[in-house]
Amino acid sequence: MFNFTKLTEFCQLIRRDILTSTTTAGSGHPTSCLSAVELTTTLFFNYFRPEVDKLIFSKGHAAPLLYALYHQAGLITTAELMSLRQFDSPLEGHPTPRFKYVDVATGSLGQGLSIGVGMALGMKIKDDRSAKVYVLLGDSEMAEGQVWEAMAIASYYKLNNLIGIIDVNRLGQRGETMLGWDLTTYRKRIEAFGWKTSIIDNGNDLQQVISTFKLLNFKTLKLPVMLIARTVKGKGVPAVENQNGWHGKVIPAEKLELNKINKKLESFYVKL
């Protein structure tokens, strides 16, 4: 496992990758990516095993975050990262199997958890006891009925190899989501569907995220688990943090403030 200092550096580098790749592309959803950096960095570098586990970005518009994770793992090059959304590039605006580390296309919101249920059930049938399926969801897609149908099936089959993470950044495409930052209501509803839940009051506090993951102890789970994390959309760029109207918009170069990210980190790459 990586220590707190290294994970902090990864978070900074991943934010830089998200910002530079989307601004260079002139399109993308950087603010939707920035809110989930600490959650996915902790997962990716401490728990996720690419050769065994499955990682699904149900909020597929956060694809630049997914690509940044693989970049910092040393599994794709900087040139590949910077080809985001270019013609013939496998790094599309939403993840597709053209990107070699993606099994299924996502981004039609509400479908990712159902895909995860199918994968987790398949692992159970194959008796693959160690493999896990991790699904990153956005809070806007929690209004989709298919999400709750997937939850019902997951608890019925006791899919303890399925772990969901809801990035509750409060802001959707056109304003505040149905529940905003009401984590308690999310928890009550999800537990009513037979899941174990854990709330992260500040999903952008790396230490809190790490502590929550440790307490879960994925090896002893008996039910599917949902992490419910309060985050800030656009986290890391003060000019757009928690601001409506930035969904699906690139951040102009003058607002990036990349000078605040330590340039010494540029050579900090670690292979999994």
22 and 30 in contact (C-beta within 8 Å)?
yes
pLDDT at 259: 55
Instruction: Please state, in angstroms and rounded to a whole number, the distance separating the CA atoms of residues 82 and 39.
Output: 23
Report which of residues 270 and 92 the model is more confident about.
92
Beta-sheet strand order (sheet of 133-138): 54-57, 133-138, 162-168, 225-230, 196-200
In this structure, what token pair is assigned to residue 123?
Answer: 């692992």
pLDDT tens digits, residue range 192-241? 999 999 999 999 999 999 999 999 888 788 999 999 999 999 999 998 99
Decide: pTM greater than 0.75: yes
Asked whether residue 98 carries a pLDDT value surpassing 90, the answer given is yes
Q: Where are the domains of the chain?
A: 4-97+107-266
Instruction: Please state, in angstroms and rounded to a whole number, the distance separating the CA atoms of residues 234 and 169.
Output: 9
Instruction: Please state, in angstroms and rounded to a whole number, the distance separating the CA atoms of residues 41 and 9.
Output: 10
**CATH number assigned to the domain covering 4-97+107-266:** 3.40.50.970
- Using the structure block, give the residue that is written with the tokens 């999800």: 190
